Structure 1
Amino acid sequence: MGTSLMLISPPPPTKTHQLTPSTFPFLKTHQTISLPSSRKTNTMINSTKKFGNFLDLKSEYQPEALDFDLPWHHPSDRSQFDVIIVGAGPAGIRLAEQVSLYGIKVCCVDPNPLSMWPNNYGVWLDEFEGLGLEDCLDKTWPMASIYIDDNKTKYLDRCYGRVSRKKLKEKLVKGCVFNGVRFYKAKVWEIKHHEFESIVVCDDGTKLKGSLVVDASGFGSNFTDYDNHKLRKKNYGCQIAHGVLVEVDGHPFDLDKMVLMDWRDSHLGNEPYLRDGNSKFPTFLYAMPFSSNLIFLEETSLVSRPVLSYMDVKRRMVARLRHLGINVKRVLEDEKCLIPMGGPLPRISQNVMPFGGNSGIVHPSTGYMVARTMALAPIVAASINECLGSTRMIRGKNLYANVWNSMWPIERRFVRECYCFGMETLLKLDLNETRSFFDAFFDLKPYYWQGFLSSKLSLKDFALLSLSLFGHASNSSRFDIVTKCPVPLAQLIGNIALESIG
């Protein structure tokens, strides 16, 4: 689920995860269980002797760049812009395209504006259809499947798609070019703020002036400040995953269904040291089968705190593929994904407008973000136009406040706290409890589970979903909810109170 996003500027030189634990030093890691060296060696040999360890295969992925003649900003040109966007990831390019529709003068700054985004993105088809982006999908599946355990599978009648990174970026960049967006190839070194103007200082010494600076540079940004209230501090959850696009001899999955979640753990039956860890901190398989010999596979920890060991995730994936009889012949692409979820929103009273991964729009319970980013950009762009495109020319703190409130009106902040409550609840569930939760969750009316996954529920909808989920849950699941939710519920109430007075 998390293959969602790479919204960082500058793009990393190699295909790596969205951030590293050093980016967020408070992210500790669950310790990997140590085995005696002889036992560990024998176990790993038994784990890989039949099908081999696909982790030893080198990815064949070669970074590529779009072949576009971009309208570049030259240092000798007039450096005054209405909006300067830092970062050319999906968030930055989408917002530049939408803002420039109004004739607003936009400059997008990034070290490699034409580089391809490395991550695989999955979305629900109806979300992209509503945005007119369905032509940016390179594969769709009419249904999605959920393997609760070895004896129960659920099928979701909702079409799922894999985003074509090239098609999406080409479409957005073409829109930017047509609308007159200027691009500047550099790393932003510093941002200096004055009352009605900001100066973006690049690493080559170039200075760009703008009425509004948008920070779309991702989770590792140094330009966005966050609310450090004690009730919100250090409460990130983390989604960590290892994904590979591989050529295989064959696989057991239906070609007309993508696998949203596979919670089965029978592949760990002969490896108790992995099974015990998975029982406490479960991972699932996310799979997109393109053909009988080509498939994207991703072992994912939905959310954990501290973050699950990446080595554990990879070992579980090796064991799973061996159990499924999947022999990997070639690794076409690989990716490492580490996504902070939940946590505080950016501080509202600041002179940079965050957008994308650093703006709190990552779904706190699933890690989804691409579709919501694409949907929010037109809303934020309209607010920017109301301020900068009007005769009133609203600038300074009022400009930032108006734009921020278009993205995070008070009800959406309340609803986000509810989603964070969902994350906190999931953090307390072991494998069997997680299975029970999703068994009940996907028994809800489609309006509720679809709205939850797509971040479209209102506060009233969320309350009705919670009541319905409790009604659909088994007696044991109700007991889990009652015994494990009081602390997250208290946090929810406290955070909503803070939003109300903040």
Structure 2
Amino acid sequence: MVTTTVTLFTPPPPTKATLPSFPLPKTHYTSSSSCSSTSRRFRVRAYSNTSKFGNFLHLKPAHQPEPLDFDLPWCHPSDRSRFDVIIIGSGPAGTRLAEQVSRYGIKVCCVDPDPLSMWPNNYGVWVDEFESIDLEDCLDKTWPMACVYINERKTKYLDRGYGRVSRKKLKQKLIEGCVSNGVKFHKGKVWQIQHQEFESTVLCDDGTELRGSLIIDASGFASTFVEYDKARNHGFQIAHGILAEVDDHPFDLDKMVLMDWRDSHMGNEPYLRANNSKFPTFLYAMPFSSNLIFLEETSLVSRPVLSYMEVKKRMVARLRHLGIRVNKILEDEKCLIPMGGPLPRIPQNVMAIGGTSGIVHPSTGYMVARTMAVAPCVATAIAECLGSTRMIRGKQLYAKIWNSMWPIESKLNRQFYSFGMETLLKLDLNGSRRFFDAFFDLKPYYWQGFLSSRLNLKELAWLSISLFGHASNRSRLDIVTKCPAPLAKMMGNIALEYIR
């Protein structure tokens, strides 16, 4: 799935080397050998590994994203370097929160090595998610339906609009909001944060010191500024994606392909097929025209992470089988998204939003729509603390802001979504097919609510009961034999949250 990654910072220490707290994932190393109409939709073609339909990985992206042409208000010494809120990172999470917080007249500074650089990844969202937060004008392409290929014989059609986010439109809209509300920007990397009782100091690599009442880390998964009190036992979603000009492709132009679990493309690749049966990947595709398409081979979740080279080889075999000849790669991307695992220690004196905050959907990897939606709630809490009365600082401030993002209900719901991830980790290709066959047979309210993190704990319990009722006998056996351990872990974690 297309998901989001935020600009990463590796803060250089001033005197001695330190290792980042984010653990490098272990990798699965596996051996391997090297339509616009209904009739076209199921047309797959097998070709030998010729130059016409062979390996396209040697092609280099034809374009590099250009930075925004915008006159930013920079932080100057005359500002006395004192702010209410300092946000580290100007990815989607940081820029959205800066735009929202500054609406209340709060003095905000964004620190980033290149605030105007274009975000590198493609973001896909359900249209209704962006409509609900008035960002539908930031979608550059929408599809009225999505489809899921369960196998060669069965396809699910989902009556829910899907869209690709225009990174330029979204960033420009958020930056314009920031500028009009008085946000200042500083171009640099943060390498250290020093905390006092009611104020913190941000030290940048250029020697600049910025002081603020609240520091917010929106710098991404590799951040060392946010602390955890539990081992970060993430699952990992890894994907290789390309925006490509092609001769032709077999997908309908009015449907995006949410998941294609077919493995017929591995018929002449026995080692690839065997490995895919154990650690499956699927194709995610957004067709823009008959000759332009975004394609992404995705491992939904694995622990340890699947080899990136394995994912690329499977994509080559798949496109060759589908008869998709890649003439030019306009953009390419590599996604590695940590999923699930524990939340950061709550509260603590650095607030987090985006990748390092635990907001990534543990079962799907979706993040950008939820980040856009939660930022106004966090901004309201900040305004209540740092507004005109200027009364709430220090520990009270940190607790209120963290709890605005992670109230008890959201923590409990996340335990259920993590349970879903732990279950998916135990499923092979056939198990995954059976699971999603039953999942997309649920009432739209439930599967849509699950994917968009909108269900409460009671509704999630009903979803589980309904899913078991829709499942095949083999899928029920998977649930009975593979779910007890993740279920027990979830129940234990929910009990701990209630005790706290």
Relative to the length of structure 1, the TM-score reads: 0.94
In structure 1, runs of 5+ residues without a counterpart are 13-20
The CA deviation at 1:103 is 0.4
The CA deviation at 1:64 is 1.1
**Hey, what's the Cα distance between the residues in 1 that align with 2:100 and 2:270?**
52
Q: For residue 85 of structure 1, what is the aligned residue in structure 2?
A: 87
CA RMSD, aligned part only? 1.6
The CA deviation at 1:34 is 5.9
Partner letter of residue 171 of structure 1? K
Secondary structure of residue in 1 paired with 2:49? helix
Secondary structure of residue in 2 paired with 1:140? strand
Q: For residue 215 of structure 1, what is the aligned residue in structure 2?
A: 217
Structure 2 matches for 1:66-465, cutoff 5 A? 66-228=68-230, 233-391=231-389, 393-465=391-463
Moved more, 74-83 or 474-483: 74-83
**Hey, what's the Cα distance between the residues in 1 that align with 2:363 and 2:480?**
19
Partner letter of residue 172 of structure 2? E
Partner letter of residue 330 of structure 2? L
Partner letter of residue 5 of structure 1? T
**Hey, what's the Cα distance between the residues in 2 that align with 1:211 and 1:59?**
43
Pick one of 467, 487, 490 that aligns with 2:488: 490
The CA deviation at 1:33 is 1.0
Question: Does the 8 Å contact 2:67/2:117 carry over to 1?
Answer: yes
Q: For residue 17 of structure 1, what is the aligned residue in structure 2?
A: none
Pick one of 20, 26, 29 that aligns with 1:28: 26
**Hey, what's the Cα distance between the residues in 2 that align with 1:34 and 1:138?**
38
Moved more, 167-176 or 71-80: 71-80
Which string of whole-angstrom CA distances, capped at 9 and with x for unpartnered residues, describes residues 191-218 of structure 1?
Answer: 0000000001111111111000000001
Q: For residue 41 of structure 2, what is the aligned residue in structure 1?
A: none
**Hey, what's the Cα distance between the residues in 1 that align with 2:347 and 2:290?**
53
The CA deviation at 1:392 is 5.4
**Hey, what's the Cα distance between the residues in 1 that align with 2:50 and 2:264?**
17
- Paired residue total: 481
Partner letter of residue 226 of structure 1? Y
Moved more, 412-421 or 382-391: 382-391
Question: Does the 8 Å contact 1:9/1:88 carry over to 2?
Answer: no
Q: For residue 40 of structure 2, what is the aligned residue in structure 1?
A: none
**Hey, what's the Cα distance between the residues in 2 that align with 1:248 and 1:350?**
50
**Hey, what's the Cα distance between the residues in 2 that align with 1:26 and 1:205?**
30
Q: For residue 15 of structure 1, what is the aligned residue in structure 2?
A: none
**Hey, what's the Cα distance between the residues in 1 that align with 2:206 and 2:22?**
28
Moved more, 219-228 or 169-178: 219-228
Partner letter of residue 98 of structure 1? Q
Partner letter of residue 145 of structure 1? C
Which string of whole-angstrom CA distances, capped at 9 and with x for unpartnered residues, describes residues 117-176 of structure 1?
Answer: 010000000000111100100000000000000000010000000000000000000000
**Percent identity (aligned):** 76
Partner letter of residue 4 of structure 1? T
**Hey, what's the Cα distance between the residues in 2 that align with 1:71 and 1:393?**
28
Secondary structure of residue in 1 paired with 2:77? coil
**Hey, what's the Cα distance between the residues in 2 that align with 1:380 and 1:51?**
50
**Hey, what's the Cα distance between the residues in 2 that align with 1:34 and 1:158?**
37
The CA deviation at 1:79 is 1.1
**Hey, what's the Cα distance between the residues in 2 that align with 1:67 and 1:468?**
51
Question: Does the 8 Å contact 2:20/2:223 carry over to 1?
Answer: no
Question: Does the 8 Å contact 2:22/2:224 carry over to 1?
Answer: no
Relative to the length of structure 2, the TM-score reads: 0.94
Partner letter of residue 5 of structure 2? M
**Hey, what's the Cα distance between the residues in 1 that align with 2:51 and 2:273?**
20
Q: For residue 66 of structure 2, what is the aligned residue in structure 1?
A: 64
Moved more, 198-207 or 61-70: 61-70
Question: Does the 8 Å contact 1:122/1:160 carry over to 2?
Answer: yes
Question: Does the 8 Å contact 2:85/2:216 carry over to 1?
Answer: yes
**Hey, what's the Cα distance between the residues in 1 that align with 2:10 and 2:318?**
31
Secondary structure of residue in 2 paired with 1:366? coil
Question: Does the 8 Å contact 1:110/1:187 carry over to 2?
Answer: yes
Name the CA shift for 1:22/1:71 in 2 (closer, same or farther; >3 Å).
closer
**Hey, what's the Cα distance between the residues in 2 that align with 1:234 and 1:27?**
10
The CA deviation at 1:500 is 2.2
The CA deviation at 1:234 is 4.1
The CA deviation at 1:227 is 2.4
Secondary structure of residue in 2 paired with 1:184? strand
In structure 2, runs of 5+ residues without a counterpart are 12-18, 35-46
**Hey, what's the Cα distance between the residues in 2 that align with 1:370 and 1:81?**
27
Q: For residue 55 of structure 2, what is the aligned residue in structure 1?
A: 53
Partner letter of residue 8 of structure 1? T
Question: Does the 8 Å contact 1:72/1:184 carry over to 2?
Answer: yes
**Hey, what's the Cα distance between the residues in 2 that align with 1:122 and 1:393?**
41
Name the CA shift for 1:198/1:6 in 2 (closer, same or farther; >3 Å).
same
**Hey, what's the Cα distance between the residues in 2 that align with 1:47 and 1:340?**
34
Question: Does the 8 Å contact 2:351/2:402 carry over to 1?
Answer: yes
Partner letter of residue 348 of structure 1? I
Secondary structure of residue in 2 paired with 1:380? helix
Secondary structure of residue in 2 paired with 1:149? coil
Name the CA shift for 1:400/1:379 in 2 (closer, same or farther; >3 Å).
same
The CA deviation at 1:23 is 7.5
Question: Does the 8 Å contact 1:5/1:121 carry over to 2?
Answer: yes
Q: For residue 38 of structure 2, what is the aligned residue in structure 1?
A: none
Question: Does the 8 Å contact 2:61/2:332 carry over to 1?
Answer: yes
**Hey, what's the Cα distance between the residues in 1 that align with 2:275 and 2:162?**
31
Question: Does the 8 Å contact 2:359/2:371 carry over to 1?
Answer: yes
